[in-house]
Structure 1
Amino acid sequence: MKLAGLKSVDNAHDDSVWAVAWVPATSSRSPLLLTGSLDETVRLWSSDELVLDNTSTGHFLGVASVAAHPLGTIAASSSLDSFVRIFDVDSNATIATLEAPPSEVWQLRFDPKGAILAAAGGASASVKLWDTTTWEVVADLAIPWPEGPKPAEKNSSKKFVLSVAWSPDGQRLACGSVDGAISVFDVARAKFLHHLEGHTMPVRSLVYSPREPRLLFSASDDAQVHMYDAEGKTLVGAMSGHASWVLCVDVTPGGEAIATGSSDKTVRLWDLGMRASVQTMSNHTDQVWGVAFRPPEPGGNRVRGGRLASVSEDKSISLYDYS
C-alpha cells in the first residue's frame, strides 16, 4: 500500500485538533469527516474536498474525542468538561447529554452494531457503557491493577484510562491506561478477562483488526506500536520507527495495513507482513493526535478511493489517498 497526499486545510480549527473520525455514508449523503478541537467545537467536513459542512458548540472545555455511529446518523463528542454530547449528524440537534463524572472523558467508541457507546473515563479508572436507545449507563467497567506491587495511594494516576477499542464482533472491549497496561473485558458479562503487557508508558490508542478478530494494535508513548493476540494474551510483534510518542493508530478497512500519528510530527504507514514502517508523511508541523481510515460504503461499494485523514496540534487536517 502507498499513501499520496490529497489535500490539507490549515487553521481548520482555532486551536489544536485532538480528535478525528469518519461518519459513514447514508442513503442520502456521502461520508463526512468529523473533527474535535481544543477550541471546544466539533466540525463536519465533506469527504473528499474537506469543505466545512457544519460547526457545533456546546462543550465548555476542549473536545478530546469524537465518534460516529456505524449507521452514520448520529455522532458523539466528549470533552474535558466531563460531558458527552450525542447529536444528529444531519440536523446537528442534540439528542442527549451524558454526564461522566468525576473525570474527563478521553476516548469514545460505538460498538460495531451501534448498540453501546463506550467512554474511557480518565481518572475515574473505569470505562462507562451507555445503551444507545435509552442513553442509560448499562455497565461501569473498573480497570483492575496489573499483577505485581500496588501503589500506596488508592487514587494513583497509574490507573488513568486513555483509550478503548471494540472487537469486530462486539464481544470484547480493550482499554489502554497510563501505566502501559491494556485491559480486556467480556462485554456481555461486564467481566475483566486479562491484561496485555509490553508497553512501559501510556497507551493512547487501540484498534482491533477487522480481518483477524483476535489481533489488537496499540500505540504508546514508549514510541512502540504493538500487535497482540488479545485472546491468547501474547505479544505478536513490536514495531518501532517513530522518534517519539505514538499518539494514535488506525487500521485499513480490509486489515492490510495500519497508520499511526506521533509527536514527532509524522504519519507512518506500516506493512503488517513486514512488521515495519514503509512510508512516512510529513504534512504536519506539530504532533499528530489522530489518524482515521474512511470505512467502506454501504453494500460493499469500494469504487470510491481509500482515504486516510490526520489531525494535528498545528490546527490542520490532512487527507491522503491510499492504494
Structure 2
Amino acid sequence: MAEKEDQLDSQDVLSLVSNSLRTTKALFGPEFASAPTFEKTLGQSTKRSFKETFEYGNVIEDFNYRRKNAAGKEKDLEYAPSNALAVATNPNAPSEQALVRQQGSFQGNKAVVGQVPMQSLEKINNVPSAAHRLAQESQASLVKRTLAEQIRPQWHPPWKLMRVISGHLGWVRCVDVEPGNEWFCTGAGDRTIKIWDLASGTLKLTLTGHIAGVRGLAVSPRHPYLFSCGEDKMVKCWDLETNKVIRHYHGHLSGVYALSLHPTLDVLITAGRDAVARVWDMRTRQNVHVLAGHKSTVSSLVSQEFDPQVVTGSMDSTVRLWDLAAGKTMTTLTHHKKTVRALALHPQEFTFASGSSDNIKHWKFPEGAFMGNFEGHNAIVNTLSINPDNTMFSGADNGSMCFWDWKSGHKYQELQATVQPGSLDSEAGIFASTFDKTGLRLITCEADKSIKIYKQDEDATPETHPNIPWTPSNMRRRY
C-alpha cells in the first residue's frame, strides 16, 4: 500500500509540473517561438547572462568607456549595464523575463540578454545607474594632460669682436656703463678705477684710492656719483665733478665683492666675504639693514624697484630674495648645487637668471618660481648679462662665452676668448660683463688684463649665418 501511495504522489508531482510547463508555454510561446527544450535553455542562459551583467557590468562598462575616449570616439554612453543593487533592492524592479522582453529577441534556442537602455533604468529606479555615475566621475581624470610646448628660438645675429682695450695692470674684475651711454668704468686688481670713452675706447680718467683690488662699481643714474668697493673692506662714493672721494661706508668685516644701487631709493647695497649684505643710506652713511642668512661669501647682488627688491647669490649655493622694508628673507632658492657667482635681471620682464658651474637657471619673480635651465655651458660661470633683445650672455673661468635665446633657452652661439699676446692660455677667464644702454655692445672684463667690446654682425642673415641647430628636448619645459 505504501509503495502505491508513493507512486501516486510522484505521478501527481509530474502531472503538476507538466501542467505548469504547458501553461507557461501557452502564455509565452507565441512571443518567443520556443523550441522543445525552451525551459532548460531559458533558465541556464538567463542565469549566466544576468550574473555577468550584475556582477561585472560596471567594470566592463568602465573599460569600454575608457577605450572609447582613448580612441577619440564618442564619449557619451548610450547604454549601460543594469544596476544589480538597484534591481535587488527596488520592489518595483522588473523580473528576469520582463528584462528579457525589454531587450527583445531570441536567437534560435538562446536568449540574448545584454544591455538595457539607461533611460529606462533611470525611470525604473529613479536614480542614475552605477555605471553612469562612475563614467561621469571618471571623466575628469581621463582628460589628457597638456604637455608644455617647446618654444622655437628666435634667430639672433652672431656676435663678433669689435675692439680690444688695454691699460690695466691686473685682472679686470668689474665694469659699469654711464646712464648717458657715453663712457664706462672698470675696476681691476691693480687697485685703480679707469674711465673709458665708449665710442673710441680711449682712456679718459684714472681714479686711485683703494689699497686692494676693486671688485664692484656702480654709476648712479640720479646723482653725479660713482660707487666702488674692493677687497680692502672699503666702500667709497666718488664725486664725478671733482673726481674725489666724498663718502666712506664703514662696517664690512672682510672684502666687499658685490655692489648695487637701488633704482629709485637713495640706498646702496653691498655684500662680501662676511656672508651678509648691508644696506646703506647713501647720504647719512648709516647702515640701515644687515641682511644676514647666508652661510658663506655673498658673491653676487642685484636690486630692483619692486618686491623682492634685493636678490643675493652666495657661495653656499643658495639664492635669497629679500624684503628690503623688513630686512628679512622672503624666499630661499636651493636648486643650485654649486657656488652662485652671477645674477642678472631681465631689463623688461619680471624675471632673472642665476649662474653656477652646474647650470644657469631661469627664475620668475616675485615668489622665485623656477622656469627652466640653460644647459650647455660646462664651466664655472662668473658673469651673466641680458639685453632687451632677449639675448643672454654667459662668461666663464676658462674663457668660454655662450649667447642664449632668453625665451627658449637655446644656445645659439659659442665663442672662445682670445688672450692677448704675451699672456698665458690660462689667463682667458672672463670675470665681468655688461651690455651698454642700447644693448648693441657687449663689454667683457678678462684675466689677460684687457677689456673687449663685441657687437652683432650687421650683415648677417639667417641664410648666411645660421645659428646652432635647435633640437626640441623634453628635458626643458616651461612652467
TM-score (norm 2): 0.58
Determine the C-alpha separation between the residues in 2 that align with 1:31 and 1:138: 33
What 5-or-longer segments of structure 2 have no aligned partner?
1-155, 420-427, 459-479
Given the superposition, is the C-alpha separation of residues 231 and 31 from structure 1 closer, same or farther in structure 2, using an over 3 Å criterion?
same
Flag the structure with higher helix content.
2
Q: Greater relative contact order: 1 or 2 (C-alpha under 8 angstroms, separation 6 or more)?
A: 1
- Compared CA separation, residues 184 and 171, structure 1 to 2 (3 A): closer
- Cα distance in structure 1, aligned partners of 2:401 and 2:205: 26
d(CA) in 2 for partners of 1:90 and 1:270?
39
Q: Does 1:35 align with 2:170?
A: no
> In 2, are the aligned partners of 1:115 and 1:133 still within 8 Å (CA)?
yes
1:243 aligned partner: 378
Shift of 1:89: 2.7
Determine if contact 1:17/1:313 at 8 Å carries over to the other structure.
Answer: yes
Task: Determine what percentage of the aligned residue pairs are the same residue.
Answer: 25
1-side partners of 2:343 and 2:305: how far apart? 13
CA distance in 1, matches of 2:299, 2:352: 16
Q: Residues 308 and 321 of structure 2 are in contact (CA less than 8 Å); yes or no, is this contact kept in structure 1? A: no
After superposition, the C-alpha distances for 1:67-91 in whole angstroms (9 at most, x for unaligned) are: 1112362111111110011102343
Among 308, 321, 338, the residue aligned to 1:201: 338
The 3-state SS of whatever aligns with 1:106 is strand
* Residue in structure 1 matched with residue 221 of structure 2 by the alignment: 70
Look up the match of 2:398. Answer: 264
Number of matched residues? 293
Give me the whole-angstrom Cα distance separating, in 2, the residues matched to 1:90 and 1:268.
38
Distance 1:7 1:194, change over 3 A: same
Is contact 1:18-1:64 (8 Å) kept? yes
Per-residue Cα deviation, 1:253-282 (whole angstroms, up to 9, x for no partner): x26121111112022221012202212233
1:1-323 map, 5 Å? 1-2=156-157, 3-10=159-166, 12-25=167-180, 30-71=181-222, 73-113=224-264, 115-122=266-273, 124-144=274-294, 158-169=295-306, 171-213=308-350, 215-222=351-358, 224-252=359-387, 254=388, 256-285=390-419, 286-296=428-438, 306-322=440-456
CA RMSD of aligned residues (A): 1.9
Structure 1 gap ranges (5+)? 145-157, 297-304
**Which residue does the alignment assign to 2:120?**
none
Deviations, residues 136-180 of structure 1 (Å, cap 9, x unaligned): 221111125xxxxxxxxxxxxx42211111134365211111121
Equivalent residue of 1:211, what SS?
Answer: coil
Instruction: State the 1:294 CA deviation.
Output: 1.1
Richer in strand (by share): 1
Q: Which letter does structure 2 place at the counterpart of 1:58?
A: G
DSSP-derived class of the 1:201 partner? coil
The 1:284–1:218 alpha-carbon spacing in structure 2 relative to 1, beyond 3 Å, is farther
Question: What is the identity, as a one-letter code, of the residue corresponding to 2:293?
Answer: I
Q: Which residue identity does 2:286 align to in structure 1?
A: E
Describe the SS at the equivalent of 2:249.
strand
Contact kept in structure 2, 1:45 and 1:53, CA below 8 Å: yes
Normalising to structure 1: TM-score of the pair?
0.85
